[in-house]
Chains A and B, each alone.
Chain A
Amino acid sequence: MTKKAWISLVAVLLGLAIIFAGCSKKEEKQESSQQEMKQSTQAAATPIDPNTVATISGAVKFDGTAPKAQKIDMSQDPACKGTNETETVEVDGGKLANVFVYVKDGLGDRTFAPPKEAATIDQNGCKYHPHVLGVMAGQPVTITNSDNTTHNIHPSPKDNREWNESQPPKGAPLSKDFARQEVFVPVKCNQHPWMKMYIGVVKNPFFAVTDKSGKYELKGLPPGTYTIAAVHEKFGEKDTQVTVGPKDSKTADFTFNASGAPAGGQ
């Protein structure tokens, strides 16, 4: 074999070695994420006196004319038979759905163990259900495919491990988690480009996602002063400060309008 042929062969083998090194890197990242999850579950949850807990609740409203839902063309996959309108902006009677509301600040050094119960995402009608999901860092997320077509689930986080997996029709559920707080993690399907959802990952259990009523409720808060954030994928984030005493029940409403900036993670 000539010298040049040897050099070419070595170059190709090096290229392959880089690829396999990349594969093992992904496994190392996965290991690291699992270790972080273990550590967060093993950290002692700070006890809260149930006799003093307070509640913050309210509604998220939309001011002005809401953009109309856009039509989706699902014809590229005959197996897709869902409702063909976008869920980006859902306004009903001036109330805004799919807003992620959470305690952004005020809990100090308190730590909270993530629940063992998994949150669920279902792919049905070639859409993700729910459109916005709230989970705790380290909480398992079970992903199911109820459609008669293959989907792929591709979260694109900034602070968490990125992954991309396909799921065959009625395939075995996937179980994943997000180790670090991040609001929002956008998720998309590369098979069906209209399929999008957002996951709010937080370190505490005080979060909610508004439904069509626009209402939210954060229960079990220890007395204190909190920054409550309401985040919408298109209209951005609104924050407010609320102070609650023992057994208090306070209201904090949010109002979005069409001029808001998109939320982080896009």
Chain B
Amino acid sequence: MTQAPPYNPAHHRFLVFAACVTLLLIVAGALVTSNDAGLAVPDWPTSFGSLYRIPPMVGGVKFEHGHRMLAELVGFLTIIIALWTWRAERRSWMRKLGFIALGTVIAQGILGGITVLYYLPAPISSAHATLAQTFFCILVSMTLVTSRTWMQTTPQSVEDRRSPRLRTLAVLSVASVYVQLVLGAAFRHSGMKLLPHLISAVVVTVLLLWTTTRALMNYSAIPQIRRPALAVLSLLLLQLSLGFGSYLTRVVWSKDAPQPMISMVVVTVAHVAIGAVLLASTLVLALQSFRHTSPAAEPAMAHATGTGKAVMV
């Protein structure tokens, strides 16, 4: 097994910075969609025929081109991350993860270009939205595993005898939030009706409440589990409120609006951004669950009953 290197604060802080910029990029992308500015810049990879000139940033262009400029910055930061991680990390999976992040951001850029060239086809736009949050999760994961707490604290490995285990609940939570994200993106980009996203919200709520309750009631002494569990719980409540607000402002109040209403833009963009943070927080909770809990050990001996069945002693 590869030995973890010493804590590298510069590398870690760079990852934190890149993750924050990526969240800003997700907000910028959400602003493009909510302001109906998706094709305000009609060409790609150039912008109004140029690779470097900044066009007048008015109207829809300020959202679309602003999004592209932030995307270029994130791409540049990711190149640095890939190379720096390759140089600085002894954990081979981390070195690979850096290049996976780079491949993901390149694919994301290509998807963004295809949305422009093919006039926002719903599956591509939805995939672009989904991959953005996937990339964000990759960066958050890298940030977590390079943190001082992760690298300098011994994992507690508390035995988990309950069924289902916290690890299982946490993984299911991540999966459910991810499915919810996909359904939300599909609705937002006119590829699907709202109902699947609403039904999935119920599933997500049940799973997250179950997981966070289990975490807080049984592992509150472990701050690495307690803190993300509290974050997930708070973000879930916030996200449900924003979801209701998005429905009101977008589906009900904006039905005959001549242009995107500011209230709709604010609420729907917040819903997208908090969704990303919720997904990342759920992932952190899952990773910490694996690190700080362990399956219950098998018993050393067992009796056979008269029925021929083994019984745990």
Contacts and interface: CB of A to CB of B under 8 A. Distances in A.
B259 A194 contact: yes
Given A15-B110, A149-B58, A164-B119, A190 B257 contact: no
Given A190-B37, A194-B259, A149 B114 contact: no
B48 A166 contact: yes
Given A19-B114, A166-B42, A192 B258 contact: no
B195 interface: no
Given A166-B48, A193-B259, A152 B42 contact: yes
Nearest to A89: B256
Given A12-B106, A15-B110, A72-B259, A22 B117 contact: yes
A164 B258 contact: no
Contacts of A15: 106-107, 110
A26 interface: yes
A52 to B, nearest CB: 46
Nearest to A26: B117
Nearest to B109: A15
B59 A70 contact: no
Interface in B25-46: 35-42
Given A19-B113, A166-B48, A78 B42 contact: no
Contact of B258 (A16, A77, A194): A194
Contacts of B60: 152, 189-193
B58 A190 contact: no
Contacts of B56: 149-150
Contacts of B52: none
B93 interface: no
Contacts of B99: 8
Contacts of A164: 39, 42, 119
Q: Find the residue from B41, B103, B257, B258 having the highest chain A CB count within 10 A.
A: B258
A19 B117 contact: yes
Given A78-B58, A192-B60, A70 B38 contact: no
A70 B258 CA distance: 7
Interface string B38-72: 11111000001000000110111110100000000
Interface string A246-264: 0000000000000000000
A162 B39 contact: no
Nearest to A86: B258
Contacts of A88: 256, 258
Interface in B94-111: 99, 103, 106-107, 110
Nearest to B40: A190
A8 B103 contact: yes
Contacts of B62: 76
B260 interface: yes
A201 to B, nearest CB: 18
A191 B40 contact: yes
A159 interface: no
A154 B36 CA distance: 12
Given A19-B110, A162-B119, A166-B48, A193 B37 contact: yes
A12 B64 CA distance: 24
Nearest to A195: B259
B114 A192 contact: no
A78 to B, nearest CB: 7
Interface string A1-25: 0000000100110011011001100
B187 to A, nearest CB: 18
Q: Find the residue from B36, B55, B60, B260 having the highest chain A CB count within 10 A.
A: B60
Contact of A77 (B36, B55, B59, B260): B59
B117 A150 contact: no
Nearest to B113: A19
A190 B113 contact: no
A152 B259 contact: no
A165 interface: yes
B36 A190 contact: yes
Given A76-B59, A166-B48, A190-B40, A22 B114 contact: yes
Across the A-B interface, the 6 shortest Cβ-Cβ residue pairs: A191-B59, A190-B40, A194-B259, A190-B39, A193-B36, A191-B60
13 contacts: A22-B114, A23-B117, A70-B256, A76-B59, A77-B59, A150-B58, A150-B61, A154-B39, A154-B42, A164-B119, A165-B42, A166-B42, A193-B36
Given A70-B257, A164-B119, 14 more contacts: A15-B110, A18-B110, A18-B114, A19-B114, A77-B58, A86-B258, A150-B56, A154-B42, A165-B42, A166-B41, A189-B60, A191-B40, A191-B59, A193-B60
